[in-house]
């Protein structure tokens, strides 16, 4: 959508994603990400953590179920989405504004960890066509004469 404020945040999950369902049965998962800047203090000769930026994140539908099954508290993640401001009145009648991320992509950060990725069994997501898989035992380059260049 035009005019959206896109954001990418790298941080740690503050808790396990909470999976819930709307009254109509649509899955939604919520989680909080803390991004904490680190700077090197030359006087103390050590790294110092700054103030953490906490962002509340929301993800919908089958994507929500994938997040709830795959991520857990403390994991370092990369989140991309649209930053939204939401205003409301608190119990004391004061107007409050919170900033949240409507998530479009999320995954584990591999800077300090490894991950094994498996494709979900449902196959087709968001109208994407699933490409036919080639037999893993067939090597397409082995069938080419050695004097031909690859087709790319």
| 69-83 residue pLDDT tens | 999 999 999 999 999
Residue 54 lies in a domain: yes
Within a domain: 132: no
Is 27 a domain residue?
yes
Q: Is 118 part of a structural domain of the chain?
A: no
Domain span at 70: 6-108
86, 98 in Cβ contact below 8 A?
yes
34, 52 Cβ separation under 8 angstroms? yes
43 domain residue, yes or no = yes
CATH number at residue 32: 2.40.50.140
Q: Report pLDDT digits (tens) over 5-19.
A: 999 999 999 999 999
Q: Which two tokens stand for residue 40?
A: 């090197």
Predicted confidence (pLDDT) per residue in 115-138, tens digit? 888 887 765 444 444 444 445 555
- Specify if 122 maps to a domain: no
Residue 12 CB burial class (10 angstroms; 0-12, 13-18, ≥19): middle
Instruction: Return the closest-CA partner of residue 19 out of 59, 78, 77.
Output: 59
Q: What digits encode the pLDDT tens for the residues 7-54?
A: 999 999 999 999 999 999 999 999 999 999 999 999 999 999 999 999
Looking only at the bridges linking them, the beta strands covering 5-13 and 76-89 are antiparallel
Q: Encoding tokens for residue 73?
A: 């508290």
Strand, coil or helix: what is 61?
Answer: helix
Residue 19 lies in a domain: yes
Residue 35 lies in a domain: yes
Structural domain count, the chain? 1
């Amino acid at each position: 959508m035009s005019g959206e404020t896109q954001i990418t945040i790298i941080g740690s999950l503050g808790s396990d994603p909470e999976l819930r369902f709307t009254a109509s049965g649509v899955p939604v998962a919520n989680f909080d990400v803390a991004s904490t800047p680190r700077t090197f203090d030359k006087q103390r000769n050590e790294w110092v953590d700054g103030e953490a930026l906490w962002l509340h994140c929301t993800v919908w539908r089958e994507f929500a179920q994938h997040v709830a099954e795959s991520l857990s508290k403390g994991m370092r993640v990369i989140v991309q989405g649209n930053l939204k401001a939401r205003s409301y009145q608190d119990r004391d009648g004061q107007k409050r504004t919170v900033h949240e991320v409507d998530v479009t992509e999320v995954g584990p950060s591999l800077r300090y960890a490894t991950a094994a990725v498996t494709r979900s069994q449902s196959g087709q997501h968001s109208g994407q066509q699933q490409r036919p898989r080639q037999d893993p035992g067939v090597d397409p380059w082995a069938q080419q004469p050695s004097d031909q260049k690859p087709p790319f």
